[in-house]
């Protein structure tokens, strides 16, 4: 690739650390909305990575946290995208430190070209038009401009921030336009006024710039942040192909968005309008708008049936649960195996209040699913008693759990799909479908899938304590503590 070709490349930077509480119960802290199939048969994260790929695009840089690192790699591999750098934040500090870390990483690695920053949880149906929009802003970005992409509003929305352009776009004018200012989320009257003006766009949180341009902006407006993030990079370390940013300097960073830190202060900033479908899926009302609807505004997903309903969404996220709505109007219902949400559609933004209330009463459904994703696969609790628990466990082909033991429980494993390679102390056994094996309390043991298809088993635990923290790890291919 020639020097000119390199300078023309675009490196996607995907921000992938949010929790998405407004889409509870489908989105929770342990497995947030960006990894779920909210719209269509791919996750929002996969859709983001896919539309930021192709000719002139390099492998993506992903900013996430340690808990999601294996989910990120697994979902990228599922859609045939080779991940580039995956930077692990010690803790969330909003978008400004994350974007700066990606820019400094590119600079440190000698990567030329532009960086295209995007949240991982937005819906943009037309990938070709998205890439065309990016191309329209690329020339100005290469000339030292900070480019943000704004959505042409189709309603007076109070849930989004706005971008005020320096002028009203002319017919066919969809290129770079200098930006006057950022506008906070408005009330209904101001939202209607801004939409009517034709001079305002929704702030989509999408950015395009050269690394050296955004680093210079940070150095001008928040120089202390540059020092802390650079130190976090310098003191970070590689871990199984991931890069862990150092925690101590990261703790000195303010929790601040890139808008507040840099964009609202910069003078070399402009916007490119986008008018081909976009949603941040920031609440169930937004998801309802993106779903296929009947003439009466009814959107159904999964095992759901609506009778005489209007402007209503019914979703069953469990094939064993049939959701039936009769005579409903403006209602959102989301049914999962362990939680059900029923809400007035006009109060969709208040769902995060439910999460707060559940945390207060210490309900595990506030943040955790019955299905717990791990780097080797997943498990879900089927039945829990005082001194026993029944789980279903799926292990990916070639994957292995850690070599471990337990102080308080014994386990009985029954393979129902595939073949398990089981180590119990000094004995290694192949356990096939409809066979079982017993793991006594205190025994050092490991479970592996030596096959080419997923392996599923039923685990029956018995003992005085069944918590996940009763694990002593001796070896772990995923380097977990």
Encoding tokens for residue 118? 């995007």
Q: What is the pLDDT of residues 313-350, one digit of tens each?
A: 999 999 999 999 999 999 999 999 999 999 999 999 89
Q: Where in the chain is the domain with CATH 3.90.550.10?
A: 3-274
Query: Is pLDDT above 90 for 297?
Result: yes
Q: What is the pLDDT of residues 139-149, one digit of tens each?
A: 999 999 999 99
**Residue 477 has what pLDDT?**
87
Q: What is the pLDDT of residues 413-450, one digit of tens each?
A: 999 999 999 999 999 999 999 999 999 999 999 999 99
Determine the Cα–Cα distance for residues 289 and 293; give it in Å rounded to an integer. Answer: 8
Lowest mean pLDDT among 125-129, 365-369, 374-378, 476-480: 476-480
Confidence of residue 40 (pLDDT cuts 50, 70, 90): confident
The mean per-residue pLDDT over the stretch 226-248 comes to 96
The mean per-residue pLDDT over the stretch 218-238 comes to 97
**Residue 368 has what pLDDT?**
92
The mean per-residue pLDDT over the stretch 256-262 comes to 96
Determine the Cα–Cα distance for residues 437 and 298; give it in Å rounded to an integer. Answer: 50
| Cβ within 8 Å of residue 429, ≥6 positions away | 421, 422, 437
Query: Coil, helix or strand for 464?
Result: coil
**Residue 251 has what pLDDT?**
96
- Do 107 and 85 touch, CB atoms closer than 8 A? no
Q: pTM higher than 0.85, yes or no?
A: yes
The candidate with the shortest Cα–Cα distance to 287, out of 326, 334, 338, is 334
Helix H or strand E segment including 213 = helix 211-221
> In 199-251, where do the E strands start and end?
200-209, 237-239, 242-244
Q: What is the pLDDT of residues 181-199, one digit of tens each?
A: 999 999 999 999 999 999 9
The mean per-residue pLDDT over the stretch 200-208 comes to 96
Q: Where in the chain is the domain with CATH 2.60.120.10?
A: 371-475
Q: What is the pLDDT of residues 375-409, one digit of tens each?
A: 999 999 999 999 999 999 999 999 999 999 999 99
Helix H or strand E segment including 415 = strand 409-417
CATH superfamily, region 3-274: Spore Coat Polysaccharide Biosynthesis Protein SpsA; Chain A (3.90.550.10)
The candidate with the shortest Cα–Cα distance to 406, out of 446, 441, 458, 445, is 441
Give strand pairing partners of 393: 379, 457
DSSP per position, 173-192: --S-EEEEEEEPPP-HHHHH
Encoding tokens for residue 74? 């697994």
Quick count: other Cβ atoms within 10 Å of Cβ 307?
10
Compute φ and ψ for 373, nearest 5 degrees: -85, 135
The candidate with the shortest Cα–Cα distance to 205, out of 167, 168, 162, is 162
Cis geometry, peptide bond prior to residue 25 (ω within 30 degrees of 0): yes
**Residue 3 has what pLDDT?**
40
Q: What long-range pairs does 434-442 form, CB within 8 A, spacing at least 24? A: 436/412, 437/412, 437/413, 438/410, 438/411, 438/412, 438/413, 439/410, 439/411, 439/412, 439/413, 440/410, 441/406, 441/407, 441/408, 441/409, 441/410, 442/405, 442/406, 442/407
Helices (H) and strands (E) in the chain, counts: 12, 28
**Residue 4 has what pLDDT?**
41
Q: What is the mean pLDDT of the chain?
A: 94
Cα angle 75, 456, 433; round to 5: 145
Q: What is the pLDDT of residues 47-98, one digit of tens each?
A: 999 999 999 999 999 999 999 999 999 999 999 998 889 999 999 999 999 9
The alpha carbon of residue 162 and the mean position of all alpha carbons in its chain are separated, in whole angstroms, by: 23
Total residues found in the chain within this entry? 481
Query: Is pLDDT above 90 for 362?
Result: yes
User: Architecture of 371-475 per CATH?
Assistant: Sandwich (2.60)
The candidate with the shortest Cα–Cα distance to 475, out of 448, 451, 446, 449, is 446
DSSP letter at 329 equals B
């Amino acid at each position: 690739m020639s020097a000119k070709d390199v300078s023309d490349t675009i490196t996607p930077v995907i921000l992938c650390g949010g929790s998405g509480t407004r889409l509870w119960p489908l989105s929770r802290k342990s497995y947030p909305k960006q990894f779920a199939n909210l719209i269509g048969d791919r996750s929002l994260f996969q859709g983001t990575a896919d539309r930021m790929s192709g000719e002139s695009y390099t492998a993506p840089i992903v900013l996430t946290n340690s808990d999601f690192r294996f989910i990120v790699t697994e979902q990228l591999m599922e859609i045939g995208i080779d991940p580039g750098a995956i930077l692990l934040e010690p803790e969330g500090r909003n978008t400004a430190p994350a974007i700066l870390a990606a820019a400094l990483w590119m600079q440190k690695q000698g990567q030329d070209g532009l960086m295209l920053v995007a949240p991982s949880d937005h819906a943009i149906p037309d990938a070709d038009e998205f890439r065309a929009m990016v191309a329209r802003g690329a020339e100005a970005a290469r000339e030292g401009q900070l480019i943000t992409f704004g959505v042409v509003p189709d309603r007076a929305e109070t849930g989004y921030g706005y971008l005020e352009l320096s002028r009203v776009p002319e017919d066919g004018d969809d290129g770079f336009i200098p930006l006057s200012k950022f506008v906070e989320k408005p009330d209904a009257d101001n939202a209607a006024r801004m939409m009517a003006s034709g001079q305002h766009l929704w702030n989509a949180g999408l950015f395009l710039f050269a690394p050296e341009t955004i680093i210079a902006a940070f150095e001008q407006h928040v120089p202390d942040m540059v020092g802390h993030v650079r130190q976090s990079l310098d003191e970070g370390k590689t871990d199984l192909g991931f890069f862990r940013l150092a925690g101590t300097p990261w703790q000195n960073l303010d929790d601040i968005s890139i808008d507040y830190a840099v964009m609202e202060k910069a003078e070399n900033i402009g916007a490119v309008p986008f008018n081909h479908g976009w949603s941040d899926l920031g609440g169930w009302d937004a998801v309802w708008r993106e779903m296929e609807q009947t003439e009466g505004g009814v959107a159904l997903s999964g095992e759901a049936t609506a009778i005489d309903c209007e402007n209503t969404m019914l979703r069953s996220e469990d094939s064993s649960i049939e959701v039936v709505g009769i005579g409903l109007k403006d209602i959102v219902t989301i049914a999962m195996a362990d939680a059900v949400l029923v809400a007035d559609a006009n109060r969709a933004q208040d769902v995060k209040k439910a999460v707060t209330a559940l945390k207060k009463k210490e309900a595990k459904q506030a943040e955790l699913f019955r299905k717990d994703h791990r780097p080797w696969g997943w498990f879900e609790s089927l039945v829990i008693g005082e001194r026993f628990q029944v789980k279903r466990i799926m292990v990916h082909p070639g994957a292995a759990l850690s070599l471990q033991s337990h102080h308080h429980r014994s386990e009985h494993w029954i393979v129902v799909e595939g073949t398990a390679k089981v180590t119990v102390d000094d004995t290694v056994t192949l356990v096939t479908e409809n066979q079982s094996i017993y793991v006594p309390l205190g025994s050092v043991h490991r479970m592996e899938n030596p096959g080419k298809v997923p392996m599923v088993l039923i685990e029956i635990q018995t003992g005085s304590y069944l918590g996940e923290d009763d694990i002593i790890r001796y070896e772990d291919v995923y380097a977990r503590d």
